Chain A
Amino acid sequence: MVEVSLGHNLDPVIVGPITRHMLALYCGASGDHNPIHVDSDFAKAAGMGDVFAHGMLSMAFLGRVLTNWVPQEKIQEFEVRFTTIVRVGDIVTATGKVISVANGSAELEMHASNQNGEVVIKGRASVVLD
């Protein structure tokens, strides 16, 4: 039975520390071969200091928060903004909260933070409750 009461916090997904190996796996699996995420020479030349995680990897962690909570076919909308870069060594905590329940659907606030409490990705989702 899915908990849909207002203010309910979804079980977090905690991942980390983020390793270069994780970024390499995600590069191959996602098809996002942008070298800035796996080639530190390229990242330095681009002025980024070092490689950093794909934003969509953090969104995938948030996606796990949702599918751990409801069957995937219940998810209607899911959107985020990428606010802070996730670096190698960071620990990412992804979670969500029910902020409204109306007309057979629930609205969720979704976000992920790093180990310093900085929000790395934030957004929302809506799920149907039938």
Chain B
Amino acid sequence: MINRDFLGHSFPAREVDVERGRLRFFAKAIGQTDPIYSDEEAAKTAGHRSLPVPPTFLWCLRQEKPDPYDYLELLNIDLAEVLHGGQKFKYHNLCYAGDKLTLVEKISNIYDKKDGQLEFLEEELTVTNQDGLLIAELLTTIVVQHREKPNG
């Protein structure tokens, strides 16, 4: 069982750079062909100051730390038992290539179903930019499946 003492646990705020090449790579990986997401000129012509960060990439920025699974280690959860159960985004302002974002993460809920066979971990992530402008609020639901594995 996940230790419920971690309910409300906050991780130190950290800064993440939004890299232009990374956004182009992401556009390619998701099959995004709209040029505003990969071509600086097209983005500017469309009224953006640089390449916009696409709607789901904010979640990816969360992975930008030496060990993106540090929270699993902290909570003693096996990575092989983890599934992404749900994801919410609330958007306030666009952010762009070249921005320096501040990410603040907090464990907001821990609960279980099926007599503890399934446990759920909810994490809130708040993103602000270099001007202190609120960019988005994310809520990630992680499912921990305590399942039988082949050959133990």
Binding site for B on A (CB under 8 A): 13, 15, 22, 25-26, 28-34, 36, 42, 44-47, 54-57, 59-61, 63-64, 66-68, 71-73, 75-82, 123
Q: Say yes or no for B44: interface residue by CB 8 A criterion.
A: no
A77 touching B149, Cβ below 8 Å: no
Nearest chain B CB to A69's CB is how many angstroms away? 11
Residue in A15, A36, A76 whose CB lies within 8 Å of B91: A76
The 10 listed contacts between A and B (C-beta, < 8 Å) are A25-B29, A29-B22, A29-B60, A34-B82, A45-B149, A47-B80, A68-B34, A73-B94, A78-B89, A81-B86
B31 touching A29, Cβ below 8 Å: no
Q: Which residue among B22, B63, B68, B86 has the maximum number of chain A CB atoms within 10 Å of its CB?
A: B86
User: Given A31-B63, A56-B60, are A78 and B55 also a contact pair (CB < 8 Å)?
Assistant: yes
Separation of A55 and B84 alpha carbons in the complex (Å) = 7
Specify which chain B residues have a CB less than 8 angstroms from the CB of A59 in the assembled complex.
56, 87
